[in-house]
């Protein structure tokens, strides 16, 4: 499945899932996923949140800190600064690299060296972080964006740190998540009765319709309830933190999901699936042994 900027609809045959893109920009992707079931929609949402790799500051070496913030506070703030991760596929995970701790194949170095020498308060922001890789820099919306505030310095205070940014996924730490929010809605008219409304007098007056309601026909008065009906149309909205474009997040999540299913299919086909469970690269066997 490939992204086509000129065709808002991605289809996989008449019987496969279909995607219609309603809105797309640098930070937001709004699309409709149809002709599939709830489990696929939720799997896609969870992969976008937790399993799309990005680059984030992982190790902070503080050489000097005379600011009002403790070293742990600063390290935490630095780790949560989004970094441009368009070249993340070129990097290796630290666990897969042959180096001892860090090298150019798995690590990007960023430095911060600020000292306040005036009576005015100095604001140290993510814009002051200097990277040895021009492709991996703090996310800024435009040239006038001051960046994310890290700390404020008064006269005589100094902050000097060295940061090592690495490739990772949000299953390891939330700082690697490429999205700020991913949500989807289905059945905007509540035909399936999956949502129980608390009503005082009139449901229609007290519960306004979703903005997705016009996408589906309104149920007729007295329409019988179908106990066997299943949702097959899902309205997604993806909001990124800027490290990746929303279409990159979406397409990568599709690839990750396909890899997971492919690994499972190979394991099931191998000797009739009689082997021990595969860890699929995330230590599942250890979790089984520990009872998780």
pLDDT-based confidence at residue 287 (cuts at 50, 70, 90) = very low
pTM confidence score:
0.81
Give the DSSP per-residue string, the chain: ----TT-SEEE-TTTS-EEEEEEE-SSEEEEEEESS-HHHHHHHHHHHHHSS-EEEEEEEEEEEE-SSS-HHHHHHHHHTS-B--TTGGGSPPGGG-SSSS--TTTEEEEEEEEE--SSSPEEEEGGG-EESSTTS-B--SSTT----EEEEE-TT-EEEEEEEEEEE-TTT-GGG-SEEEEEEEE-TT-TT--S----SS-HHHHSPPPTTGGGSPPPPTTPPP-TT----EEEEEEEE-SSS-HHHHHHHHHHHHHHHHHHHHHHHHGGGG-SPPP-TTTTHHHHHHHT-
pLDDT of 11 over the 70 cut = no
Torsion angle defined by CA atoms of residues 138, 140, 145 and 151, in that order, rounded to the nearest 10 degrees:
-30
pLDDT-based confidence at residue 101 (cuts at 50, 70, 90) = confident
Per-residue pLDDT of 30-47, as tens digits, reads 999 999 999 999 999 999
Whole-number pLDDT of residue 292: 27
Higher pLDDT, 208 or 274: 208
Chain centroid to CA 171: 10
pLDDT of 197 over the 90 cut = no
């Amino acid at each position: 499945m490939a992204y086509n900027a000129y065709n808002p609809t991605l289809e996989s045959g008449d019987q496969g899932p279909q995607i219609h893109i309603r809105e797309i920009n640098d930070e937001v992707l709004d699309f409709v996923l149809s002709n599939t079931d709830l489990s696929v929609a939720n799997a896609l949402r969870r992969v976008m949140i937790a399993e799309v790799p990005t680059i984030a500051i992982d190790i902070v070496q503080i050489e000097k800190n005379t600011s009002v913030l403790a070293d742990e506070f600063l390290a935490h703030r630095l780790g949560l600064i989004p970094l441009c991760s368009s070249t993340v596929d070129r990097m290796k995970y630290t666990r897969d690299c042959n180096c001892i701790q860090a090298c150019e194949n798995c690590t990007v170095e960023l430095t911060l060296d600020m000292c306040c020498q005036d009576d005015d308060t100095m604001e140290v922001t993510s814009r002051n972080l200097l990277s040895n890789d021009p492709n991996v820099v703090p996310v800024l919306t435009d040239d006038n964006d001051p960046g994310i505030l890290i700390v404020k310095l008064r006269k005589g205070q100094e902050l000097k740190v060295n940061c090592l940014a690495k490739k990772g996924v949000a299953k390891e730490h939330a700082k690697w998540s490429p999205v700020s929010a991913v949500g989807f809605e289905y059945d905007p008219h509540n035909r399936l009765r999956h949502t129980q409304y608390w009503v005082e007098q009139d449901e229609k007056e007290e519960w306004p319709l979703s903005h997705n309601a016009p996408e589906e026909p309104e149920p007729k008065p007295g329409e019988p309830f179908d106990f066997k009906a299943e949702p097959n149309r899902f309205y997604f909205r993806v909001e990124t933190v800027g490290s990746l474009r929303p279409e990159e997040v979406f397409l990568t999540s599709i690839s990750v999901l396909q890899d997971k299913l492919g690994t499972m299919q190979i394991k099931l086909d191998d000797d009739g699936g009689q082997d021990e469970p595969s860890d699929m690269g995330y230590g599942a066997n250890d979790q089984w042994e520990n009872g998780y």
